Structure 1
Amino acid sequence: MTTAVTTAGHGTGPAAVTASGGEKRWPGREPLVLGVRHHGPGSARAVRAALDAAMPRAVLIEGPPEGDTLLPLAADPAMVPPVALLAHAVDDPGRAAFWPMAAFSPEWVAIRWAQGHDVPVRFIDLPAAHSLAAAADPTWGDDEDEAHPGGDDEAASLRIDPLAVLAETAGYDDPERWWEDVVEHRGESGGAAQVDPLASFAVVGEAMAALREEYGHGGRDRDLVREAYMRVQLRATRREFGHEVAVVCGAWHVPALTAKSTVTADRALLKGLPKVRTETTWVPWTHRRLARRTGYGAGIDSPGWYAHLFGATDRPVERWMTKVAGLLRDEDRFVSSAHVIEAVRLAGTLAAMRGRPLAGLGETTDAVRAVMCEGSDVPLELVRDRLVIGDVLGEVPDSAPAVPLQRDLARLQRGLRLKPELLERELELDLRKQTDAARSRLLHRLRLLGVDWGAPAAGRGSSGTFRETWRLRWEPELFVKVAEAGVWGTTVLGAATARAESDAASATALADVTTLAERCLLAELPDALPVVMKALADRAALDADVGHLAQALPALARSLRYGDVRATGTAALGEVATGLAERICVGLPPACTGLDTDGAVEMRGHLDGVHTAIGLLAGSDELSARWTEVLRKLAVRDSVPGVIRGRAARLLLDEGRLDEDEAARLMSLALSPGTPPADAAAWIEGFVGGTAGGGMLLVHDERLLGLVDAWLTSVPPDAFTDVLPLLRRTFSAYEPGVRRTLGELVRRGPAASGTVPAAGEPGAPGFGAGIDEARADAVLPVLRLILEGDRV
């Protein structure tokens, strides 16, 4: 997405004139071009001082002209930066661009100044209608507004960073440190800048002119077109207001705006530009999205630090250290006022030793690390994340233009008390409560629309169907997602319904339709469900692949379960699920023969899913009996791969359909000397690997452990290397405590004879010789309270 331009420094074409005693003076007969660094607090303060001194009749700002009608909203008290202008193509909302502004952005300061002095203010950059239309055109050229990972290395090498070049010329190895010394600390350290608010613009403007003379347009092909449009707009404004016009733009553009150029040449550059219909609005933005590390082309390294410098009227270092101390105290770290005093002193000392006018971010960071963090970078990372970058989310008034879907979403968010927040938070929902159920519906509908505000998570509490856990985090890009989803409808319910119906019609895989049916039930889309059910029945009737059927059944079973919880009619869904299950019972045994290793592992996953799904289908005793017979066939059929035979035996054992003696017999057959070691290892993986409790089964049944141990020690050395990866995959999934107990049992020597320890005989390590029934019964009342309190 396009964003504002990354440039550096200040500049102006005409010679600067000192404004003293509040008297308005204008330098010459030319417009006042104030070159700035976007999102630079020093630039913002300098722009405000320059405008106060010059008192222009009109203010022009680098930005899309489509935003002119939205500028009055900047004066609304409900508008709290950081915010961004969002422009998107009407026919393709995903093609969008942002122009962010923070409180310390010079453009924002200029807008607020103009509104406060009743001076007309306008945007003069290339319209978004052209830039969005040309964004996909490779001949349009690389734009410095965008991040281009993996782009043309040669083109990237031609683009220059003016800030880095000036810093290197001044003998600095860090552009940010140079910027702080010459701009950010200028007001605090005193000097000529406090006398003449325009002088610095002239100095850096000359530097930019020298850079452009050396590097041309610096590899920024689009700048030529953008600057031509700016000159056209500047001429039009001069005809209306005369020469007393102030222009606030990136310093890199200053020489181009002050250079002599003909109207014919500029219009020739603008001829034939592509164009699309666009819509523009204000959206909340974040300090984190202003950071360069996010890939934002005009990003800065420390937006939180810059916001502090802009807002701190005096003693910025002392106030910063106080913020840091407060953050660390909130994290239960011991930080006293003495730490703050010592950190301030150390930062000042470091600045003096390094020849800096005031302590900058580097000095304050070093002081915080040494004094408050005791030399550790762990708490320092928290300071960098929370303060240096910061988690600030702007606000936009309700009167800002928005697509109907966005307005409906905002209404639902207010009604459900779900305020968009930048920081990730966990939300626990009890679906038996009306408000929580409505929140769940909204979040599921948004996910179906591709607006991933919330993501389901495993909750800390009950795993029952009446509870849901979500992780919520609102990102500015979600406004674009909402605009894209607006093509489906004007309300969240209507849009989600239309999207579900469209997805059902276009889905080709049976599993996709069953997943969609589940999501419709979770989102409670009654109008979409019949369409989805018809598509599901059609796909199920035509699909004869057992793997596809097995992949689709679990989602249907979960849908039936959630339908019961949410009081949604699912009779038709139950019929389809039962039909799928019966077809699986018929086709699964033949489908499990003749499989290679990868196919066997995949089919084992399907086996687990179908087993769980059949257990969820209510009133299916006959189906359960048929499934048990299928598992018995798979467990004893030699043509079935070992991993499937082992898993089938394990599922029967867990369900009580296979006694322990029979399980031991099947294991003995699978691990007999006549079985190839690789097949035996696969059987073990299926029996005790992958499922929860596989290790505990071996811990509590020493006969099975003895069989595994005896087989393992009998594997020939030349075959052991082949089966080792499979065995490691099986046993490495166990918890550390289970692996340790198994090791102790093997070292002690399990009872391979098949007998269990009798009363008085030693049992497994950590366990008594026998069962103390009185003590075991004592836990039953507590267990009953837990289960009844969490019953679904």
Structure 2
Amino acid sequence: MLHILGIRHHGPGSARSVCNALASIQPDCILIEGPPDANPIIAQLQHADFKPPVALLLNTPVQKEVRSQAVFYPFAEFSPEWQALQYALRQQVAVEFMDLPLQHRFALEKQWAEQRLQQASADEQTFADDAEIEPELQVADEVEQNMEQYYLSIRRDPIQLLAEQAGYQDSERFWEHLVEQQPHAGQMFAAITDAIAALRDYLLSQQPENYSSEDQLLEQYREAYMRKVIKQAEKQGYQNIVVICGAWHAPVLADLKAQNKADTVLLKGLPKMKVDAAWIAWTHGRLSRDSGYGAGVQAVGWYTHLWKHYQQALDENVDGEKISIDWLSKFAHALRQAGHDASSAQIIDAVQLIQSLLQLRGRRIPDLEDLFEVIRSVLNHGLDIPQPILAKLLEDEQLGQVPDELVELPIQKDFLQQVKHFRLKLEAPHRDISLDLREAFDLAKSQFLHCVKLLGLAWAELAGTGSKQGNFKETWQLSWQPESSLYLNEMSLWGNSIQLATQSYLENQIRQCEDVAQIAQLIENILLSGLDQSLNLALDKLNELTTQHQDPSIILATLKPLITAIRYGSVRQFSMQHLHQVVEHLAIRLMLSLPSYCVQLNAEMAQQFAQQLQNLYELLEQLQKDALLQLWQETLQQLLQLEQMQGYLHGCCVRLAREQQLIDVEQTQGFLSRALSIGQTADYSAAWFEGFLTHQALLLIHEQSLWGTVSQWVNQLQEQQFIELLPILARTASSFSPAEAQQLIQKVTQKSTAVKQEVGTLDIARAQTVLDEIFAYLQPVAVEV
């Protein structure tokens, strides 16, 4: 007898109903919607170390220069398929997957992709002709497109039609109440099949004439293959067959004879390609992805919570009040941990409110919307639920487990051995670790993590280097992503261990790279990863590229990671002789090219390069090479004498020379006076002023001669010039700290007061003499009048 159980993938209610149905039917064969390519590894699930969530990874063999096709079929503990597999293995019942094999599906998708490319080329050639289509035909095309859009909207969510008939706006909530919260084992499965059959008939009636798509064709292949597997099971003599599939497929799997001939024709000659299958650990967070038969589960934590209570009452009525109490208690605990108020009295009030709501709505078990209403009203005082707390509870992030013995590739085994050796954990939540590179064990661990990062594995990210305490501290953030298992498979091309694969992968990148800065960054990564064998290749490539590129900006960008790498030498215990030689060679070449390069820069480029000059000096200081510092000082002196240089850059050079005490106050005053003199344009003077004084307020505060020159220049500006230069002056002043700005304001205020006092000082005796003379002169005039 054939029993078809239509379920929702990853539905805890569906899983509960499947368990009840299997216990009642006691089948001798179970067929599950899933990839038959994985049938040989189903028996591995008997291993005691399996812990869901896990996933089937199916991918095409790894090939160089070709990205593997891959798909994941995830299983949570509350997935109906997982429960069926566990039942079959416990009861020693025959079990198989029955969906269209991935060896055909991958080949079809590749074939269709090639056809789409060919069609796109053909469409481009006929585009001009299409522009001249008659208006009547354009209207007909629009009508046809609207019909297709309506059809696709129904196809994407056919349950919505049933939900609307039942008075629901949300198809997910409708399915929750009708199916997931009901302990059906037989009658409800039949009712679901009848309802889906009606939906499929309606959808067929709405399908546009001659409509065909890749998705539709793939569905036909899949359902034809499912029927083929069921017929094979019957031929093998199984009498009590249970089929577990998505509810959408249930109506078309029962009538095997009517479709027999058509299925044979449809499946004949399907293309195929080789596919590998393996079990990998998965996470709850990844269940939301639509991969394989992923249902886009957004509330894994809630489903886990329901499943725990369903397990406690598989053959009895589920206690809806206990579900509410436990969930509300979890939420209250999360609120308290986040610093919010959530008392026991509030939980009691919330439980009473939820029970009243369920009575009004005619249900025994709450759903998330019911609980959200109560949480907002009672526990959160009418406010929106804090998103971080909500996300943490709904995700319930957990990482599954697959036995180490089932790992087959050498690179995967090496990775797991090193993870174990360094006492690390493959966990889904983020976890921070700190390393002291002065310790040999931590240094080796750091090199391993750098190798993993350099290989591109999404697990370890360097969060900090503790630069304030020196260069011997590192902080890493670890978070294991299940897809990394597939990535490790792909990286097996490069070697059988993490170190060998990283070295081969890195050397391939070096040979193909044409970017000087990227090569420099790779050199730093080589040293951090302890892959000294690759250093000479990278340095030779760097020397080749820098010979071709004479741009000082490029060489400067190259120096930074190299000098940073040299700083690691004291704690990372590698030889720096060759690297020192390369850095010195690049630094000398850079400084010799600076004078001719700087006179070619426009205003925008000059501002960018001014900061790079500051960086160059800081880098050279880190090297602590007297010969290079001497060459730098000589180069800077040459730059000071360049009259054609852009104003901002020249002002910056004067500032650097003053900071490094290469020129004294008197010389600085000379450069400043020349730059701000009447002979210069106002634009040049303003740019020079900005380059010289940005972040340098103390020069104006403590050097009175510089202050006087700047004050005189500002006072002599014409009103229109002052207005035009005001943004530059304001930008320069904005770089000053609040304390420095306040001192400058006081300096201006004091000068203004002194001027007023000087103007207001009056010699009374001299003034009286002048007045007497004036009156003596006026008296004869008054007599005549």
Q: TM-score, normalised by structure 1?
A: 0.81
The answer to whether the 8 Å contact 2:677/2:713 transfers is yes
Measure how far apart 1:368 and its partner are: 2.0
Measure the CA separation in 2 of the matches of 1:668 and 1:238.
Answer: 101
1:768 maps to none
Measure how far apart 1:468 and its partner are: 1.5
2:330 maps to 323
The answer to whether the 8 Å contact 1:292/1:301 transfers is no
Q: Which has the higher helix share?
A: 2
- Paired positions, count: 698
The answer to whether the 8 Å contact 1:465/1:562 transfers is yes
Q: Which one of 612, 617, 621 corresponds to residue 615 of structure 1? A: 621
Q: Counterparts of 1:352-751 in structure 2 under 5 Å?
A: 352-354=359-361, 356-377=363-384, 380-458=386-464, 462-618=468-624, 620-659=625-664, 662-663=667-668, 666-667=671-672, 669-672=674-677, 675-676=680-681, 678-683=683-688, 686-687=691-692, 739-750=737-748
The answer to whether the 8 Å contact 1:368/1:380 transfers is no
The answer to whether the 8 Å contact 1:293/1:299 transfers is yes
The answer to whether the 8 Å contact 1:514/1:555 transfers is yes
Measure the CA separation in 1 of the matches of 2:421 and 2:69.
Answer: 31
Matched, 1:84 2:84: no
Q: Counterparts of 1:10-21 in structure 2 under 5 Å?
A: none
Matched, 1:281 2:278: yes
Inter-CA distance 170–687: structure 2 relative to 1 (3 Å threshold) = farther
2:84 maps to 110
Matched, 1:198 2:169: no
Measure the CA separation in 2 of the matches of 1:718 and 1:83.
Answer: 73
1:301 maps to 298
The answer to whether the 8 Å contact 2:555/2:590 transfers is yes
Inter-CA distance 238–337: structure 2 relative to 1 (3 Å threshold) = same
Inter-CA distance 658–73: structure 2 relative to 1 (3 Å threshold) = farther
The answer to whether the 8 Å contact 2:454/2:525 transfers is yes
- Which ranges in structure 1 are unaligned for 5 or more consecutive residues? 1-28, 143-151, 188-192, 754-792
The answer to whether the 8 Å contact 2:98/2:226 transfers is yes
Inter-CA distance 534–439: structure 2 relative to 1 (3 Å threshold) = same
Moved more, 266-275 or 67-76: 266-275
Measure the CA separation in 2 of the matches of 1:240 and 1:721.
Answer: 94
The answer to whether the 8 Å contact 1:554/1:612 transfers is no
The answer to whether the 8 Å contact 1:293/1:301 transfers is no
Matched, 1:212 2:219: no
Inter-CA distance 361–599: structure 2 relative to 1 (3 Å threshold) = same
Question: Aligned-residue CA RMSD in angstroms?
Answer: 3.3
SS of the residue corresponding to residue 273 of structure 2 reads coil
Measure how far apart 1:518 and its partner are: 0.9
Measure the CA separation in 2 of the matches of 1:706 and 1:281.
Answer: 79
Measure how far apart 1:507 and its partner are: 1.2
SS of the residue corresponding to residue 392 of structure 2 reads helix
Moved more, 277-286 or 368-377: 368-377
Measure the CA separation in 2 of the matches of 1:311 and 1:633.
Answer: 78
Moved more, 446-455 or 255-264: 255-264
Inter-CA distance 356–633: structure 2 relative to 1 (3 Å threshold) = farther
The answer to whether the 8 Å contact 2:30/2:93 transfers is yes
Measure how far apart 1:467 and its partner are: 1.2
The answer to whether the 8 Å contact 1:709/1:746 transfers is no
Measure how far apart 1:317 and its partner are: 1.0
The answer to whether the 8 Å contact 1:636/1:645 transfers is no
Measure the CA separation in 1 of the matches of 2:542 and 2:660.
Answer: 31
Measure how far apart 1:745 and its partner are: 3.6
2:142 maps to none
1:772 maps to none
- CA-to-partner distance for each residue in 1:743-768, whole Å, 9 max, x for gaps? 53454344898xxxxxxxxxxxxxxx
Inter-CA distance 536–170: structure 2 relative to 1 (3 Å threshold) = same
Letter in 2 for 1:453: W
Letter in 2 for 1:741: A
Measure how far apart 1:65 and its partner are: 1.4
2:43 maps to 72
Inter-CA distance 336–258: structure 2 relative to 1 (3 Å threshold) = same
Matched, 1:270 2:267: yes
Measure the CA separation in 2 of the matches of 1:345 and 1:336.
Answer: 15
Measure the CA separation in 1 of the matches of 2:675 and 2:621.
Answer: 28
- CA-to-partner distance for each residue in 1:546-574, whole Å, 9 max, x for gaps? 33222211122122222332110121111
Moved more, 417-426 or 291-300: 291-300
Measure the CA separation in 2 of the matches of 1:275 and 1:725.
Answer: 68
Moved more, 345-354 or 484-493: 345-354
Inter-CA distance 723–268: structure 2 relative to 1 (3 Å threshold) = farther
2:135 maps to none
SS of the residue corresponding to residue 97 of structure 1 reads strand
Measure the CA separation in 1 of the matches of 2:606 and 2:363.
Answer: 68
The answer to whether the 8 Å contact 1:130/1:274 transfers is yes
The answer to whether the 8 Å contact 1:85/1:100 transfers is yes
Measure the CA separation in 1 of the matches of 2:575 and 2:93.
Answer: 63
Measure how far apart 1:621 and its partner are: 0.6
Matched, 1:182 2:183: no
Measure the CA separation in 1 of the matches of 2:337 and 2:276.
Answer: 43
Inter-CA distance 679–303: structure 2 relative to 1 (3 Å threshold) = farther
Measure the CA separation in 1 of the matches of 2:690 and 2:267.
Answer: 68
- CA-to-partner distance for each residue in 1:284-336, whole Å, 9 max, x for gaps? 21111123699996212211101111112341111111212222233343433
Measure how far apart 1:529 and its partner are: 1.6
Inter-CA distance 278–712: structure 2 relative to 1 (3 Å threshold) = farther
Measure how far apart 1:584 and its partner are: 0.4
Moved more, 76-85 or 458-467: 458-467
SS of the residue corresponding to residue 622 of structure 1 reads helix
Measure how far apart 1:661 and its partner are: 5.6
Measure how far apart 1:201 and its partner are: 0.9
SS of the residue corresponding to residue 468 of structure 2 reads coil
Inter-CA distance 637–48: structure 2 relative to 1 (3 Å threshold) = same
1:50 maps to 21
Q: Which one of 25, 29, 33 corresponds to residue 62 of structure 1? A: 33
Measure how far apart 1:450 and its partner are: 1.1
- CA-to-partner distance for each residue in 1:585-609, whole Å, 9 max, x for gaps? 1112211222234433443354344
Measure how far apart 1:664 and its partner are: 5.7
Letter in 1 for 2:250: V
Measure how far apart 1:80 and its partner are: 1.2
Inter-CA distance 249–654: structure 2 relative to 1 (3 Å threshold) = farther
Measure how far apart 1:57 and its partner are: 0.9
Q: TM-score, normalised by structure 2?
A: 0.81
Inter-CA distance 52–551: structure 2 relative to 1 (3 Å threshold) = same
The answer to whether the 8 Å contact 2:599/2:642 transfers is no
Letter in 2 for 1:97: V
The answer to whether the 8 Å contact 1:37/1:43 transfers is yes
- Which ranges in structure 2 are unaligned for 5 or more consecutive residues? 117-145, 208-212, 313-318, 752-785
Moved more, 578-587 or 652-661: 652-661
Letter in 2 for 1:633: Q
Moved more, 578-587 or 502-511: 502-511
Measure the CA separation in 2 of the matches of 1:694 and 1:420.
Answer: 50
